[in-house]
Amino acid sequence: MFLLVVLLIASSIVLLTLAILPLAIAKMENWRMQKERTVAVELDKMFYDKGPKQIMRLYFVLPPLFAILGVLLFKSILFAVAGVIAGLFIPNIILKARDSQRRQKFNSQILDAIMILSSSLKGGLSLLQAFEVLVEEMPEPMSQEIGLVVRENKMGVSLEDSLRHLNARLQLEELVLLLNSIMVARETGGDLTKVFSRLVTTIRDNRKLKDSIRTLTLQGRMQAVIMSLLPFLFIWWVLTFNKGHFDIMLKSEIGRMLLTVAVVLQGVGMILIKKFSTIKI
């Protein structure tokens, strides 16, 4: 009788697995295709010459790898689950980091680009021809983005729309100043060379102000980092000498409540220090 029950349970599990497995595989394949298309779009925006398969491999390699490391190092299912979640988020973090680095590099090239545009206009070239000179003279990513603007214009897209597309792709404060200056000057018939000269001065003053603010708020930002790490370092230091030091807190209801309140207050303190040390201009 016992063997019969075991066989029935085993056969039920097998049948359920055979019924659910194709659906799970189909869902996984659908997710993979959608994610690959999304990654491909993001890589195209960054003019990345390789396909999305390298990033997609990370989605399937990192979660099980981190789960195994969590079990081996900490011998806990909780850390294995945390490893799976971390493995799923890391490829997105890599994409965002690459995009952020590319935006920062583009932003650092804006002053040189404005000077080249101004020199080209003073030499008698049109604005579109000045953009073509910019593509030839500037390195990536400036040459890539402006080259796309030139190609869109040659395909029939107006220059204003091409510049709006550029702004939508990058969304940089100094780029907005540059593009708005170009559009206003084209509509009003202003002298772009003089506009560029004033714009260079404005951007340089703005960067000096940001550097000064960053220096003045350095103490607050360092305080936020130190105060955030201090509780974890204290817990590690205590546990190295006495592993059962916090048992009374973990086993009693009042202790668990106090630990929860401490974690919440720690998070609130980190957020407040971050806000107080951040100045937007």
The answer to whether the Cα torsion of 177, 178, 179, 184 is positive or negative is positive
Whole-number Å distance between alpha carbons of 52 and 276: 40
Burial of 222 (0-12, 13-18, 19+ CB in 10 A): exposed
pTM: 0.75
Q: What is the pLDDT of residue 136?
A: 92
Q: Residue 234 corresponds to which tokens in the numbers above?
A: 């204290």
Q: What is the pLDDT of residue 144?
A: 92
Strands (E), 159-225: none
The CATH class for the domain spanning 109-213 reads mainly alpha
User: Region 40-55: what's the mean pLDDT?
Assistant: 78
Burial of 160 (0-12, 13-18, 19+ CB in 10 A): middle
CB within 8 A of 177, min separation 6: which ones?
A: 199, 202, 203
* HSE (side-chain half, CA atoms, 13 Å) at 170: 29
Assign 3-class secondary structure to 101-168.
HHHHHHHHCHHHHHHHHHHHHHCCCCHHHHHHHHHHHCCCCHHHHHHHHHHHHHCCCCHHHHHHHHHH
Convert the pLDDT of each residue in 209-261 to its tens digit.
Answer: 888 888 877 777 787 778 778 888 888 888 787 777 777 777 788 877 888 88
Convert the pLDDT of each residue in 152-200 to its tens digit.
Answer: 998 988 888 999 999 988 889 899 999 998 888 888 877 888 989 899 9
Q: Which residue has the tokens 């491999």?
A: 57
Whole-number Å distance between alpha carbons of 227 and 229: 6
Whole-angstrom CA distances from 170 to 94, 115, 223, 255, 263 are: 18, 20, 32, 49, 37
In the chain, where are the structural domains located? Answer: 17-106, 109-213, 217-276
User: Region 74-90: what's the mean pLDDT?
Assistant: 80
Q: Three-class SS of residue 172?
A: coil
**What letter would DSSP give residue 171?**
-
Q: Three-class SS of residue 81?
A: helix
Q: Three-class SS of residue 221?
A: helix
Under 8 Å between Cβ of 270 and 227? yes
Residue 141's identity, in one-letter code, is: P
